[in-house]
Amino acid sequence: MLALALKLLRRDWRSGDAGLLVLALSVAVASASAIGFLVDRVERAMQSQAAELIGGDLMLRDTDAVSDDILNQAAALGLATNRWIQFPSVVASVEDFRLSSVKVVQPGWPLKGEPRIADEPYGDERPAAGAIPAPGETWIDPQLASDLALNVGDSLEVGAVELSITAILSFEPDRGGGFYSLQPRVLMNEVDLAAAQVIRPGARVRYYQIFDGPRWPEFKAALEDSLEPQQRLRSGGEGGNAFGDAMERATRYLRLGSLLAIIVAGVGVAMGANRYGQRHQASTALLRTFGMSGANVLKVHLIQLGGLTVLGVTFGLIIGFFAQFTLIGVLAAMFPGELPGAGIKPIFMGVATGLAVAIGFGAGPILRLRDVPPLRVLRQDLGTTPIALWVSYLTAVVALGGLMVLYTGDWQLTLVLAGGGVAAIALLAVLAVGLLRSLGAARGWGGQTWRFGILHLARQPKAAAAQLLAFSLTLMAMSLLWLVRGELVGRWQDQLPVDTPNYFVLNIMPDEAAEFQSVLDRESIPASPLYPVSRGRLTEINGQPVRELVSKEQDLPEALERDLSLTEASQLAADNRIIDGQWHAMGDGETVVSVEAEVAAELDIQVNDVLGFTINDQTIEARVASLRTVQWDSFKPNFYMIFNPGTLDAMPRAILTSLRIGPEQAGLGRELVRQFPGITLFQVDALLKQIRTVLERATTAVNLVLVFVLAGGLVVLWVSVNSTLDERIREGALVRVMGASRAQARAAQLSEFALLGGLSGVLAAAGAELGSVFVYSALGVSWAPHGLLWLVVPSAGLTLLVVAGWLGTRRVTQTAPAVLLREA
């Protein structure tokens, strides 16, 4: 059996039958492995980049120093660790003082990222090159330097210690997006902390322990089950900030690309295996007439399928391995340093995918050969479709579903895609059969060429439906991936437009507001509205103190651990959205407030609750008029609490805004500080650049995966066209024998492909539109109808199949009919 199987396999290879199936398998494995390599390496690289936001892979925040048990657990996993301490404190120069945020670091800070320093406020930056302030020294940010008129070489008092200013701290990679704790920053060495004598019982101190190393996910999983109420655990790639949100969506898109690539490749293998089985029915019937049993026939073909699977998997792994170098080569220039090396998981997943696709989608037609009757030699209409075929396909779906879960680790995305895929296949199959059967009524439309195409499809609706379904699924997968890509990239581009503010301006005095606005207008500087800000605390909810509402074991919500920036406004900002209640507009004399939704959820605040605030020893009460969501990463002023106009008129307040100063106006920041010496100018250019870098890399990765899947889809379309090539060539030859010209024969063939392509495109557009509803929900993207889809996809389907059909059936017009019929 082995010798016969190998002999037949060599013959099939020379004839091209085996090559088509190997090509389809190679596409499946190459898609899974190449995208697997890309996803694996890019995910790790993006995780590393996003980790700079917290200075390492994982951050544990506590109100006390992290215990030795946790540190020993991290050391056992080979994790590097470092810590920094942060607390508010009044710092003083010779002539003045300011409440500042003091950050205490130790050698090795940060584990990831690179601080940048300068010799003067808002001056030319340079990397800190791994250095931190030496004992007895400090670095201060430009805001504090301007507030206290300090320069490098001056002294600053922090508690009981006097420190020498040796640099201006222009950028901290782990300062994050806390734009509303915009207190001036002081960076000092931990060696000086004891001498400063600023940490005393009751002080608001936060200890941040940072961990870094490849086994951090394992460490995180172990810690999550034993966290104390006051502890917070966070990784750099988590959502809730521009880095985390971009990375999360990009990762899920890459996984979606992997899943759709496997599905598309499975369609190609099914079509290739079906052609292989059909072409071997005659030779199998001949073997049966020579006395070979059905069991031995099955053995021969299973050996052949095994050989073809080995070849397809091997070629696919080779293609995928080298293809990922091409993909990574495009991305490498966008990542600092070298990308993480290729892991072995994508290799195993490629092999597993190849085996699952070969057995699931390829074994069905092979199993049918076991039951081919010997009389098939004389009667080509004989044959069976055993239940084993459908069992095989069901097994393939289950196996691929398991691979999806194993590969992505994302049950939600897998279930959405699997459930939607099954529903789409069922719906498309019904629609395909219905459309093809209805074509018979349209045979009188058009000229003779179109009638030929319509009649050929209507004559064998089930066979044509299989092709139509295969084409539709492939086009649908490609269209769905394109739609999601457009939504994600569009969202990222909208998130940080070109005119995104790169400076926050605080402490503008009310009597300076008009003059400040006139300077902005004169210099044509785009800016947010000027918001009046008073510092205050939320003290009561419905007459009950806030701290009584929070148990002793529960940590106070982060937004309420400090004074809030309270403001008033008559118009709702564009990046805010009301989710409950109504916006207060001008109000009707009643004091009302709009509350940010997350704070409201943490404190169980509802619309119409009454909140009490303490502002500069004055107390006010306000009814909650609305709850709203806030886009904190918009780089525009946003607030937890917004009152109706007039509420804060009697309160001490300053003005806050954000603005955009372009490179051509580089010196304007210094001029504003000179003209308005009391303002605080907070620059976020470095953070903007950091976020944009992540978004650009995510966009490039998304585009590369899309291109790879589209290329795989085109190969599958080619395989699908070739799976019915024999019958088309035979029919074309018969048309030629009956007197049709070459042009008429070509037009007849292409009309059928045009019909198939157009109908496939319509079904694919419907399936992609429906599927996008569920996939958008899984990816956290808002859905809207895609009108252009219904024009582009049918046109693309028609064009692709006409081109593929013309290339595949050229022999009909270039070869004598007698030769074609003899070969058939």
Measured CA to CA, the distance from residue 228 to residue 151 in angstroms comes to: 43
Which 3-state string (H, E, C) describes 554-591?
A: CCCCHHHCCCEEEEECCCCCCCEEEEEECCCCCCCCCC
Handedness of CA 200, 202, 204, 206 (dihedral sign): positive
Residue 319 and residue 30 in contact, taking contact as beta carbons nearer than 8 Å: yes
Q: What is the dihedral of CA 271, 273, 278, 282, to 10 degrees?
A: 160
**pLDDT confidence of residue 778:** 66
State the average pLDDT over residues 427-447. Answer: 66
d(CA 382, CA 397): 29
* 139: pLDDT strictly greater than 90: yes
* pLDDT tier for residue 468 given thresholds of 50, 70 and 90: confident
CA 45 – CA 331 distance, rounded (Å) = 10
pLDDT in tens, 46-79: 666 667 777 888 889 888 888 888 999 999 999 9
Q: Taking the CA of residue 680 as centre, how many other CA atoms within 13 Å lie in the half-sphere pointing to its CB?
A: 20
| pLDDT (0 to 100) of residue 75 | 92
Whole-number Å distance between alpha carbons of 314 and 25: 10
CB atoms within 10 A of CB 656: 23
Read off the tokens for 412: 């939600």
Residue 593 pLDDT > 90, yes or no? Answer: yes
Each residue's pLDDT tens digit, 299-358:
887 888 888 888 888 888 888 777 777 666 655 555 555 566 666 777 877 788 788 777
What distance in Å separates the CA atoms of residue 166 and residue 139, rounded to the nearest whole number? 6
| Local confidence band at 284 (pLDDT 50, 70, 90 cut-offs) | confident
Sign of CA dihedral 95, 99, 101, 102: positive
689-732 pLDDT, tens digit per residue, is: 767 776 676 677 677 777 767 776 777 777 767 666 666 666 66
- For 122-142, the DSSP string reads T---EE-TT--PPTTEEEE-H
Q: Is the pLDDT of residue 402 over 50?
A: yes
pLDDT in tens, 505-537: 877 888 888 999 998 888 888 888 899 988 888
| pLDDT grade for 239, boundaries at 50, 70 and 90 | very low
Q: What's the token pair of residue 726?
A: 């024999």
| Distance in angstroms (rounded) separating the CA atoms of residues 474 and 716 | 8
What confidence score (pLDDT) does residue 504 get? 83
Instruction: Please give the C-alpha separations between residue 412 and each of 184, 381, 401, in angstroms, as whole numbers.
Output: 43, 45, 12
Handedness of CA 494, 497, 503, 507 (dihedral sign): negative
Phi and psi (nearest 5°) for 426? -60, -45
State the virtual CA torsion across 24, 25, 29, 32 in degrees, nearest 10. Answer: 50
Residue 179 has pLDDT above 50, yes or no: no
CA angle 236, 554, 77 (to 5 degrees): 40
Contacts of residue 374, Cβ cutoff 8 Å, sequence gap at least 6: 285, 288, 289
Q: Rounded distance, CA 19 to CA 22, Å? A: 5
* DSSP classification of residue 236: T
Architecture per CATH, domain 503-687, reads as Beta Barrel (2.40)
Average pLDDT for 434-455: 64
Left if phi > 0, otherwise alpha if psi is -120 to 50, otherwise beta: which for 16? left
Return left, alpha or beta for 617; rule: phi > 0 is left, psi -120 to 50 is alpha, else beta: left
Q: What is the DSSP letter of 713?
A: H
- What is the secondary structure of 651-671 as a DSSP string? S--EEEEEE---GGGTTHHHH
**b or e along 129-140 (b: 16 or more beta carbons within 10 Å of the residue's beta carbon)?**
eeebbeeebbbb
Asked if the model's pLDDT at residue 387 lies above 70, the reply is no
Q: Shortest CA distance to 146 belongs to which of 177, 180, 123, 178?
A: 123
The C-alpha angle 179, 185, 190, rounded to 5 degrees, equals 130
Helix (H, G, I), strand (E, B) or coil at 59: strand
First to last CA, the chain: 28
Total length of the chain: 824
Cα distances (angstroms) measured from residue 243 to each of 47, 413, 489, 607: 9, 21, 14, 32
Label residue 181 by pLDDT band (50, 70, 90). very low
Q: What is the mean pLDDT of the chain?
A: 77
Nearest to 379 by CA among 281, 280, 297, 274: 281
Closest CA to 169 of 202, 132, 206: 132
Q: Is the pLDDT of residue 242 over 60?
A: no
> Could you write out the DSSP letters of every residue in 729-749?
HHHHHHHHHTT--HHHHHHHH
Number of Cβ within a 10 Å radius of residue 506: 20
**Beta-sheet strands, E only, within 597-648:** 610-615, 618-630, 641-643
Q: Check: CB of residue 32 under 8 Å from CB of residue 258.
A: yes
3-class DSSP state of 473:
helix
Q: Where are the beta strands (DSSP E) in 542-588?
A: 544-545, 564-568, 576-581
Is the CB of residue 323 less than 8 Å from the CB of residue 316? no
Cα 202 to Cα 689: distance, rounded to the nearest angstrom:
38
Question: Could you give the residue range(s) of every CATH 2.40.40.20 domain in the chain?
Answer: 503-687
* Confidence band, pLDDT 50/70/90 cuts, at residue 251: low
Which residues have CB under 8 Å from 548's CB, separation 6+?
none
**pTM for this structure?**
0.60
Other CB atoms within 10 Å distance of the CB of residue 778 = 18
Other residues' Cβ atoms within 10 Å of the Cβ of residue 474: 29
Q: What is the mean pLDDT of residues 478-489?
A: 79
Alpha carbons 150 and 94: distance in angstroms, whole number: 10
pLDDT at site 822 = 59
Q: Is the pLDDT assigned to residue 220 strictly greater than 80? A: yes
